[in-house]
């Protein structure tokens, strides 16, 4: 008897869950690659091509335009269902914009190879805020806490060295 069958009682549910998890990880690594590339391009740009706030404005404008084109159909389908979450989406957007502007400022002043790991400490903040705001929605396990702490430890190693 395989672990797959003992976990769910049928292989289809576990296969589907595993496939969903793998797609999530694939999208996550794609996002990480995109953000990593963005940080290098940003560092290059703010090293003399443009001030950080101008760069943040241009990047957010192009990002918004591209995202709007990709999501028009999904927004139209969501309709009334998404109205409840609008405030939280707006707050998330404000925090994202602040994060991007602060990242551009940081990249103007520091080295991308040092700042990139510092910027990657966001899982620690995610963990703290998820524990406060997503009780009952997200499970925070010792393994997840250990992973976040390992990220922070890696940042310490890179910045102290």
How far from 12 is each of 3, 9, 52, CA to CA, in Å? 13, 9, 50
Residue 87, token pair as written in the block:
């405030």
Q: Please state the three-class secondary structure of 55-112 as a single string.
A: HHHHHHHHHHHHHHHHHHHHHHHHHHHHCCCHHHHHHHHHHHHHHHHHHHHHHHHCCH
Structure tokens at 41: 């391009």
Mean pLDDT (whole number) for 2-30? 70
pLDDT at 71 over 70: yes
56-65 pLDDT tens trace: 888 888 888 8
Q: Which residues contact residue 39 at a Cβ distance below 8 angstroms, ignoring those fewer than 6 apart?
A: 103, 107, 112, 115, 116, 119
120-147 pLDDT tens trace = 788 888 888 888 888 888 888 999 999 8
């Amino acid at each position: 008897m395989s672990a797959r069958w003992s976990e769910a009682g049928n292989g289809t549910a576990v296969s589907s869950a595993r496939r969903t998890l793998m797609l999530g990880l694939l999208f996550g690594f794609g996002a990480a690659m995109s953000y990593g590339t963005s940080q290098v391009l940003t560092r290059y740009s703010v090293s003399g091509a443009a001030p950080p706030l101008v760069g943040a404005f241009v990047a957010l404008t192009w990002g918004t335009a591209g995202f709007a084109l990709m999501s028009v159909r999904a927004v139209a389908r969501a309709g009334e269902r998404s109205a409840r979450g609008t405030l939280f989406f707006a707050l998330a957007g404000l925090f994202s914009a602040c994060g991007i502007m602060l990242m551009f400022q940081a990249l103007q002043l520091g080295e991308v190879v040092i700042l990139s790991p510092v910027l990657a400490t966001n899982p620690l903040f995610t963990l703290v805020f998820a524990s406060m705001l997503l009780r009952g929605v997200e499970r925070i396990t010792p393994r997840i806490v250990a992973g976040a702490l390992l990220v922070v430890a890696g940042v310490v190693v890179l910045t102290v060295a």
